[in-house]
Amino acid sequence: MVDDEPELCEMVSRFFSLEAYECCTAASGEEALGLMQCNRFEMVVTDIMMPGMSGIDLLTIIKSLYPDVAVLMVSAVDDVNVASQAVELGACGYVVKPFSRSELLINAAAALERRRLSLKGKEENPNTPLVVPQEIGARRKILIPANDIVRLIRAGIDEVTIMEMFRLSSHQLHSLFEQLISAGKLDAAELEPKGSLRAVSVVIDVDSLRVDGTPPAKPVINASDALECIRSGIDDASIMKRYNISAKGLRSLFRKLVDAGLLSESDLEARLRGQEKTVLVE
């Protein structure tokens, strides 16, 4: 349940719990997306009018990233146009506040049944491709709606979360940012690193040495540990989390490893090729 009113979230959670559903609550669309990265949900019930990311924005992102999740919209406004827009975007239903317990549960059950039938149809037609197949070695393309990514950036979502949501490498994220600036969707100043991930130079501590009594002004990363992570195939977002660095810091790390002779240009190019997708915004 996603709503900026904690009392409503608590009430809805209680309704679902009494029917043996496991229910989580979120006070915003951004918080809901964070929960969805770490948990598997069958349905999301979301308010439409919320500060920051609206329910319609959340619906659009969920159907893009988690198409098998049923979404039920709730609103204090009985607006046919808004309801039609939500259904066109993939919502399974539209409930007007204030709603009764039975009204909510009936609509939720109907939404879950539609989801079940949709998944059953996919199982019965396994030859129907859900994703356009790509030839081995071909460049893949991923199309990201510019408005969606701009909303996430302006909502304060950090780089790692964006990379994980859209399955991007640091190189692809950099390409995406450049396109947004070139298209005039964002100013360069808006793309300052988010949260604790700061764009600072990365110092490689090749000999595992520290200056006694002097804390480093920049993050110090053990070269052997970094190489082990890179060669084990860990993705960019996981490395950024491990060392608490931004995408810019990760690129600096790669470059310093190459300059130190610890990583070859061919190794770096092979890594980029393995992750490569052409990132486009519309």
Check pLDDT > 70 for residue 275.
no
pLDDT score for 46: 96
Cβ-Cβ contacts under 8 Å for 261 (sequence gap 6 or more): none
Q: What is the pLDDT of residue 113?
A: 86
pTM above 0.75, yes or no: no
Position 3 scores a pLDDT of: 95
Q: Residue range 250-255: average pLDDT?
A: 84
> How buried is residue 99: exposed, middle or buried, by Cβ count under 10 Å (0-12/13-18/19+)?
middle
Give the residue, 146 or 218, on which the prediction is more confident: 146
The CATH number of 6-124, from 3.30.460.20, 3.40.190.10, 3.40.50.620, 3.40.50.2300, is 3.40.50.2300
Quick one: pLDDT at residue 156? Answer: 67
Report residue 247's pLDDT band, with 50, 70 and 90 as the boundaries. confident
Q: How confident is the model at residue 196 (pLDDT cuts 50, 70, 90)?
A: very low
Whether the Cβ atoms of residue 250 and residue 239 lie closer than 8 Å to each other:
yes
CB 193 within 8 A of CB 246: yes
* Greater model confidence, 215 or 70: 70
2 has a pLDDT exceeding 50: yes
The least confident of 62-66, 167-171, 202-206 is 202-206
pLDDT band at 25 (very low <50, low <70, confident <90, very high): very high
Which strand (E) or helix (H) includes residue 116? helix 101-124
How do the domains of the chain map onto residue ranges? Answer: 6-124, 137-282
SS3 category, 259 = helix
Q: What is the pLDDT of residues 31-64, one digit of tens each?
A: 999 899 888 999 999 999 998 889 998 998 998 8
Who has greater pLDDT, 218 or 237? 237
> What are the residue ranges of helices labelled H in 27-88?
29-38, 55-65, 80-88
Most confident segment among 22-31, 76-85, 205-214? 22-31
The answer to whether 194 and 244 have CB atoms below 8 angstroms apart is: no
Contacts of 2 (CB under 8 A, 6+ apart): 9, 25, 26, 27, 28, 29, 31, 32, 44, 45, 46, 47, 50, 55, 58
Q: What's the token pair of residue 110? A: 């109907």
d(CA 23, CA 9): 10
- Terminal-residue alpha carbon distance, the chain: 30
Q: Taking 90 as the threshold, does the pLDDT of residue 73 lie above it?
A: yes
Whether 131 has a pLDDT exceeding 60, the answer reads no
Mean pLDDT rounded to a whole number for the chain:
77
